[in-house]
Amino acid sequence: MFIDLTVLITPKMVTDAQGNEKKALVGHLGTHFDVMNKEFPIEYVERNAIVFDVSTVKGRDIEIWDINISKVKGDMFVAFYTGFIEEEGYGSKRYFQEHPQLSDDLTDALLDIGISIIGIDCAGIRRGVEHTPKDQYCADRNVFVVENICNLGKLLLQESSREFIANTYPVKYAGMTGLPCRVVAKI
């Protein structure tokens, strides 16, 4: 079974996003990752993956103790279901400015394990002025952050589907800071 984790972009969503986020252009629109100054390795297109339900974490950063980090292995695609994209909808000012975020300690723990991709169902793993530097910090360690994924809740319906195969296919653009991508879960 396949589940598409890619946000469907409509003309209204494009208008809303571009009105609320200065970087919501071609490379940073919808499901994408901030490639920074790196190239997405072709072997990253298929990764063992896991999704963690962190939707109950409110009013603070998502921390290491909010997930079972012992389930995370090197080279994985690690996804976080916050529920924010369903709650707020893609493209609003609140969506870009008030989304959940991962703590620095959690991000460092994932990088220390040697994962490949962090996926999140909101506008990034950090907000505001911390967003771009944290994406660069991850990219410098060969980890890409895929933002604005959706349908992660479907993977949480059964315990057996929390671990899956993630297929990530970025558009082959050059000289862009963001790459739109299609992300599909295979259960």
Name 62's bridge partners: 102
CATH number of the domain that residue 107 is part of:
3.50.30.50
Distances (CA, A) of 75 to 7, 32, 157: 24, 19, 24
Query: CB count, 10 Å around CB of 98?
Result: 14
Q: Which domain holds residue 43?
A: 2-186
Q: Which residues of the chain have pLDDT under 70?
A: 13-28, 160-161
User: Do the beta carbons of residue 30 and residue 90 sit within 8 Å?
Assistant: yes
Tell me how many domains the chain contains.
Answer: 1
**In whole numbers, what is the pLDDT of the chain averaged over residues?**
90
Spatial CB neighbours of 52, under 8 Å, sequence gap ≥ 6:
66, 67, 68, 78, 79, 80, 81, 162
- pLDDT recorded at residue 26: 60
- pLDDT recorded at residue 25: 57
The predicted model scores a pTM of 0.91
